[in-house]
Amino acid sequence: MKRRGWIAAAVLVCAGLVVTAPARAQDKISLDELARYLGVEVKAKIVEKAVNSLKDGAASAAYKKKDYAGVVRALEARLDRRVESLRRQGVPDVWIEQSLVMDGYSPQMVAAWKAGKAKQAAAEDKAEAERKAAEEQAAIAAANAAGAQPGDFKAELTKDSKGAKITAYTGRATIVTIPAVLEGFPVTELTFNGNIDRDWRNGDHYKNDSSFAGFTNVTTVNIGPNVTKLNIAFPRGKLSLATQAKPQQLGVTLY
């Protein structure tokens, strides 16, 4: 490719030309679409010459079979290999596209390849997010099945040293039952100190340094009969009290 033509092509690439790749493995495309992808006139001989000029055996073989989608797949695979080679040579990513154009690939091919890679990366990110979400749901289901364990709670002695005060829940269950006894002491307090961020309605999120701070997945808290002092902000779900006292008398704030 002449330098003048390369400069024009590089300008197109740098300008962010976006072209959707005309085919994937399951697609069929026309000769016209292939011509646009190659950046040449829509004439069979010209398209064939453009394909053969890239000296890719798989692409040329696919063209002879009129498998135009196969031509695209072969050339995209070759682009992948070329990009890997350029990166191994230390070529910065900002120069990759220009380097591909210098190799003889049309700006349309390079832009389509880039768009395809972006789409693939987005699909992979989505799949990874879905995998993590599924793992999280499985972990929560397992935690709910097992129930809150003593080790899921942080506690300290009350001021009179006669009971336990739970200061935090660190488990993953959404349904949490406060134990009646921890390490031999009756659980009599569930409390926190600090200010509540009451803007929890935005995104159903709230912040405080309570026993359930940051654990917005908790939907139900079951409080045992030994609790006589309870100070907690609970913006959603159910707060079950196995005690004769009313929530207001225990210092419960429900939103």
- Domain membership of residue 18 (yes or no) is yes
pLDDT of 6 higher than 80: no
Give the percent of the chain with pLDDT over 90: 29
Q: Do residue 218 and residue 172 come from a single domain?
A: yes
Per-residue pLDDT tens for 112-131?
Answer: 888 888 998 999 999 999 99
- Domain membership of residue 134 (yes or no) is no
Per-residue pLDDT tens for 72-125?
Answer: 999 999 999 999 999 999 999 889 989 998 888 888 888 888 888 899 899 999
- Domain membership of residue 131 (yes or no) is no
User: Which residue did the predictor score with more confidence, 142 or 218?
Assistant: 142
Q: Measured between alpha carbons, how far is residue 115 from residues 27, 49, 69 in Å?
A: 17, 25, 16
User: Which residue did the predictor score with more confidence, 96 or 22?
Assistant: 96
Q: Do residue 174 and residue 120 come from a single domain?
A: no
pLDDT of 3 higher than 50: no
- Per DSSP, helices labelled H in the chain are 3-14, 31-38, 44-53, 57-64, 68-88, 96-102, 107-146
Q: Do residue 111 and residue 203 come from a single domain?
A: no
- Domain membership of residue 130 (yes or no) is no
Q: What is the pLDDT of residue 90?
A: 93
Q: Do residue 120 and residue 12 come from a single domain?
A: yes
Q: Do residue 24 and residue 61 come from a single domain?
A: yes
Q: What is the pLDDT of residue 206?
A: 38
Amino acid identity of 121?
A
Spatial separation of the C-alpha atoms in residues 4 and 10, rounded to whole Å: 10
pLDDT of 43 higher than 70: yes
- Domain membership of residue 47 (yes or no) is yes
User: Which residue did the predictor score with more confidence, 169 or 86?
Assistant: 86
- Tally of domains within the chain: 2
- Domain membership of residue 185 (yes or no) is yes
Q: What is the pLDDT of residue 26?
A: 52
Sign of the torsion formed by the C-alpha atoms of 154, 159, 164 and 165? negative
Nearest to 187 by CA among 229, 148, 159: 229
Spatial separation of the C-alpha atoms in residues 34 and 21, rounded to whole Å: 10
Q: Do residue 8 and residue 113 come from a single domain?
A: yes
Q: Do residue 96 and residue 187 come from a single domain?
A: no
Q: Which two tokens stand for residue 236?
A: 């959603």
Q: Do residue 117 and residue 177 come from a single domain?
A: no
Q: Do residue 155 and residue 68 come from a single domain?
A: no
Confidence class of residue 240 from pLDDT cuts 50, 70 and 90? low
Spatial separation of the C-alpha atoms in residues 51 and 69, rounded to whole Å: 13
pLDDT of 245 higher than 80: no
Q: What is the pLDDT of residue 192?
A: 47
pLDDT of 255 higher than 80: no
Domain that holds residue 167: 150-254
User: Residue 246 in 3-state DSSP?
Assistant: coil
Supply the DSSP string of 100-127, one letter for each residue: HHHTT--HHHHHHHHHHHHHHHHHHHHH
- Mean pLDDT across 192-209: 37
Spatial separation of the C-alpha atoms in residues 24 and 30, rounded to whole Å: 13
Q: Do residue 94 and residue 163 come from a single domain?
A: no
Nearest to 35 by CA among 113, 111, 108: 108
Q: Do residue 176 and residue 82 come from a single domain?
A: no
- Whether 227 contacts 189, CB under 8 Å: yes
Q: Do residue 66 and residue 157 come from a single domain?
A: no
- Whether 178 contacts 223, CB under 8 Å: yes
Kindly report the average pLDDT of the chain as a whole number: 75
- Whether 179 contacts 148, CB under 8 Å: yes
pTM recorded for the entire structure:
0.55
- Domain membership of residue 142 (yes or no) is no
- Domain membership of residue 44 (yes or no) is yes
* Domain stop point among 124, 159, 187: 124
